[in-house]
């Protein structure tokens, strides 16, 4: 597989980040007291010596650290098995939603405290009544909110919170977005927020977000522009663009127009303008964000991975097609930002090297603010070029020291270009 083959990276990917990141909607007023009171309440329940530390990097980015070391909960002996994706979410500080619950003992009662285990093999049968003997990982403790009759009623797809997570083994606080007024706070990975800072949306700029759903980066750009940019968000299906509109409505954003369209065909010489949606004429946008479809191998924690080398290799083709269209619709002197949430060289440094060779009109510029590390050496970019991109991961590179905060999120990559005449 086209990934960095090191034990350090594998260990890093298997562990959750050591903090939670919230993006604050700067169009609304954030009430810090809500967070403080909630953490104080949780602190009493957990017997903590203090509430978790939290701080703002910028007004739109809040970092929440782990509970102190004295916060522990003993296992109850009652095991609930959840799928690997659900277990990973618990380690990030999430509750357990009903579809993720695989095995639950028959004699449980509501509000009973239970131990949450992730199925690391994908072999647990849904509705299991007895203790699961496959490979599993303890990920946290929680309070049961649903019984078997609610979870496994035939013909009914369960929904809602099945287990209210009290404490993950990662000791990350369980702070849900719903704690705050609607649209005020969004859980978002730190490099994803940095990506918005790199685009740096300004009022009146015409910006294209090519693969926009569910709209987290789209809404960030809108908020950065004070809801005054002209932002067009495109994704492939009506279902996905509906999520973008829902995100905008929730966050009080009116400067975004969303369209269901294939962005690999988003440029046309015959188009009369951008007002009617895609396809767009060449040289239409001041800025283009291409947060490309990718293998997603930077996500943490990765408790189970079914991605094959063939699947990883398939993304390069679509990324190249999207980049080619991005170059066409970008204005001369416009900025193109390319990002992925993966760690593979072919989708990151390799894609930048390909773009620079394929499109002489593209010039690599610093993806500022440069908070992640440089690109990997000997992967198609020289030292000057790799100093201009940023890669989030555990690597140590003398070319650019990285604050530990930015090494403790997910694997991510950002490159920025301008279009020359």
DSSP 16-36: --SEEEEEE-TTS---HHHHH
Query: Under 8 Å CB-to-CB from 99, ≥6 apart: which residues?
Result: 157, 158, 159
Q: Is 82 exposed, middle or buried (0-12, 13-18, 19+ CB in 10 A)?
A: buried
SS3 (DSSP) at 55: strand
Per-residue tokens: 123: 């072999």
CB 139 within 8 A of CB 169: yes
The values of phi and psi at residue 201, to 5°, are -65, 135
Would you say 235 is a known binding-site residue?
Answer: yes
The packing angle between helices 216-224 and 238-251, to 10°, is: 40
Strands, sheet with 96-97, edge to edge from the N-terminal-most edge strand = 96-97, 161-168, 136-144, 113-119, 79-82, 101-103
Instruction: Give the SS3 label for residue 168.
Output: strand
Tell me the two tokens of residue 64: 């929440």
Q: Is 316 annotated as a binding residue?
A: no
Please tell me whether 291 is known to bind a ligand: yes
Give how far the C-alpha of residue 255 lies from the chain's centroid of Cα atoms, to the nearest Å.
23
Give the N- to C-terminal CA distance of the chain in Å, as an integer: 38
Contact 294, 315 (CB under 8 A): yes
Is 267 catalytic? The answer is: no
Residue from 294, 296, 295, 298 nearest 14 by CA = 298
Q: Quick one: DSSP state of residue 200? A: -
298 is in an annotated binding site: no
Confirm or deny that 215 is annotated as ligand binding.
yes
213 marked as part of a ligand binding site: yes
Give the whole-angstrom CA distance, residue 5 versus residue 151. Answer: 40
Residue 273: helix, strand or coil by DSSP?
coil
Q: Is 105 annotated as a binding residue?
A: no
Instruction: Please name the residues in contact with 32: beta carbons below 8 A apart, sequence gap of 6 or more.
Output: none
Q: Strand pairing of 206-209 and 285-291? A: parallel
Q: Is 160 assigned a ligand-binding role in the annotation? A: no
Q: CA-to-CA distance for 165 and 90, rounded, in angstroms? A: 7
195 annotated binding-site participant: no
Decide: helix, strand or coil at residue 353. helix
Beta carbons within 10 angstroms of residue 383's beta carbon: 11
Residue 153 in marked binding region:
no
Catalytic residue, chosen from 195, 255, 266, 341, is 341
Active site (catalytic) residues: 341
Q: Which residues are annotated as part of the binding site for S-adenosyl-L-methionine?
A: 211-217, 235, 262, 291
């Amino acid at each position: 597989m086209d990934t960095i083959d090191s034990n350090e990276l594998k260990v890093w990917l298997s562990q959750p980040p050591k903090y939670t990141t919230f993006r604050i909607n700067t169009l609304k007023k954030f009430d810090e007291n809500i967070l403080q009171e909630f953490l104080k309440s949780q602190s009493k329940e957990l017997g903590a010596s203090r509430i978790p530390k939290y701080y703002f990097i910028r007004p739109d980015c809040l970092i929440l650290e782990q509970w102190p070391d004295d916060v522990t909960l003993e296992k109850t002996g009652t095991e609930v098995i959840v799928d690997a994706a659900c277990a990973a979410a618990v380690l990030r500080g999430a509750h357990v939603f009903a579809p993720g619950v695989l095995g639950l003992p028959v004699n449980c009662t509501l509000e009973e405290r239970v131990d949450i285990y992730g199925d690391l093999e994908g072999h647990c049968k849904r509705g299991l009544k007895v203790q699961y003997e496959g490979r599993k990982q303890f990920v946290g403790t929680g309070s049961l909110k649903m019984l078997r009759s609610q979870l496994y009623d035939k013909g009914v797809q369960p929904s809602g919170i099945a287990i209210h997570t009290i404490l993950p083994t990662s000791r990350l606080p369980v702070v849900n977005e719903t704690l705050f007024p609607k649209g005020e706070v969004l859980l978002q990975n730190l490099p994803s927020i940095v990506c918005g800072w790199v685009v740096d949306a300004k009022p009146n700029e015409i910006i294209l977000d090519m693969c926009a759903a569910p709209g987290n980066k789209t809404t960030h750009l809108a908020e950065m522009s004070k809801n005054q940019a002209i932002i067009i968000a495109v994704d492939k299906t009506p279902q996905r663009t509906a999520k973008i509109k829902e995100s905008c409505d929730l966050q009080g954003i009116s400067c975004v127009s969303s369209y269901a369209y294939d962005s690999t065909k988003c440029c046309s010489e015959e188009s009369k303008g951008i007002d009617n949606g895609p396809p767009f004429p060449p040289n239409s946008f001041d800025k283009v964000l291409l947060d490309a479809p990718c293998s997603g191998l930077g996500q943490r924690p990765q408790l189970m991975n079914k991605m094959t080398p063939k699947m990883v290799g398939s993304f390069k083709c679509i990324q190249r097609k999207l980049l080619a269209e991005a170059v066409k619709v970008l204005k001369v002197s416009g900025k193109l930002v390319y990002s992925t949430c993966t760690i593979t060289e072919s989708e990151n440094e390799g894609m930048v090297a390909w773009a620079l060779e394929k499109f002489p009109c593209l010039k690599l510029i610093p993806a500022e603010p440069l908070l992640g590390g440089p690109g990997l050496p000997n992967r198609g970019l020289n030292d000057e070029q790799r100093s201009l991109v940023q890669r989030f991961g555990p690597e140590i590179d003398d070319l650019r020291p990285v604050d530990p905060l930015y090494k403790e999120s997910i694997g991510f990559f950002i490159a920025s270009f301008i279009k020359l005449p």
